[in-house]
């Protein structure tokens, strides 16, 4: 009985080896699509809200200066000086705030976009607005020296749809990745060598006539 159970994996492996090699590619793609779809269904949805602030030059400044300071404010928006002031209103520690918030600037407009991601739409909007308020307050403390005022251009609103990828998208990505891995496996699989032809058996040479007369 033990020998039968021990030989079962070997028999299954032998049956798998007899399957056509081309089945590896669709099989890997199907497995990847299934795993990707399951990940998209089981992963909690995430929402992203964006708030905008704009740098405005004062009477003693010019638009070029405001554009330069907008670039600088975009770089410091996710730093400790700003997030430390925003953590109370956002009700999150600085480390988690830094992982949920990102800031983007435009090379043509003196504007900073502050986006926040959370599991609930209202929570994402609250975090984005808290960081934009903290950035505005920090920037305007030095308005006399920078000659640039930072104003809130648009508050973050509650997003309607999640920003995370849905099951269909994750299934397509998983299927593509599985198909790619299957193709690589086909390309790198060891090739079967053709059996070398066996050497012909030596044929004995005919005996000389003198030996036949003896």
Quickly list DSSP for 112-174: EEEEEEESSHHHHHHHHHHHHHHHHHHHHTTHHHH-EEEEEEE-----SS-SS--HHHHHHHH
Identify the residue whose tokens are 């400790």: 80
pLDDT of residue 190: 60
Query: Does residue 1 have a pLDDT over 50?
Result: no
DSSP 65-115: HHHHHHHHHHHHTTSHHHHHHHHHHHTS-HHHHHHHEEEEE-SSSSEEEEE
Identify the residue whose tokens are 């920078």: 146
Position with higher pLDDT, 163 vs 87: 87
% of the chain exceeding 70 in pLDDT:
60
Position with higher pLDDT, 162 vs 131: 131
Position with higher pLDDT, 181 vs 98: 98
pLDDT of residue 173: 73
Average pLDDT, the chain: 78
3-state secondary structure of 175: helix
Query: Does residue 131 have a pLDDT over 90?
Result: yes
pLDDT of residue 54: 95
Q: Could you tell me which residues come within 8 angstroms of residue 104 by beta carbon, excluding any fewer than 6 positions away? A: 74, 112, 113, 115
Residues in the chain, overall count: 214
3-state secondary structure of 193: coil
Q: What does the pLDDT look like over 29-80, one tens digit per residue?
A: 677 767 766 656 556 678 999 999 999 998 888 889 999 999 999 999 999 9
pLDDT of residue 164: 56
Query: Does residue 162 have a pLDDT over 60?
Result: yes
pLDDT of residue 210: 54
Mean pLDDT of 177-191: 67
Query: Does residue 146 have a pLDDT over 60?
Result: yes
How many angstroms separate the CA atoms of 146 and 58, rounded? 9
Cα-based distances in Å from 53 to 21, 22, 117, 175: 58, 56, 18, 41
Position with higher pLDDT, 114 vs 25: 114
């Amino acid at each position: 009985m033990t020998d039968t159970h021990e030989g079962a994996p070997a028999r299954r492996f032998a049956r798998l080896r007899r399957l056509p090699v081309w089945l590896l590619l669709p099989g890997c793609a199907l497995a990847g699509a299934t795993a990707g779809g399951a990940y998209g269904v089981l992963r909690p949805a995430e929402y992203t809200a964006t708030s905008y602030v704009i740098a405005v030059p004062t009477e003693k400044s010019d638009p070029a200066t405001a554009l330069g300071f907008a670039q600088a404010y975009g770089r410091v928006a996710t730093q400790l000086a700003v997030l430390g002031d925003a953590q109370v209103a956002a009700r999150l520690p600085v480390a988690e705030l830094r992982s949920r918030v990102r800031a983007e600037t435009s090379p043509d407009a003196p504007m900073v976009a502050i986006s926040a991601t959370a599991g609930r739409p209202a929570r994402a909007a609250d975090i984005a607005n808290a960081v934009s308020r903290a950035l505005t307050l920090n920037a305007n403390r030095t308005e006399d020296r920078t000659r640039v005022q930072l104003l809130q251009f648009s508050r973050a609103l509650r997003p309607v749809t999640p920003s995370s990828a849905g099951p269909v998208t994750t299934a397509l990505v998983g299927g593509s990745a599985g198909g790619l891995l299957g193709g690589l496996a086909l390309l790198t699989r060891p090739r079967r060598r053709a059996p070398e032809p066996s050497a012909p058996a030596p044929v004995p040479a005919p005996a000389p006539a003198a030996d036949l007369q003896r």
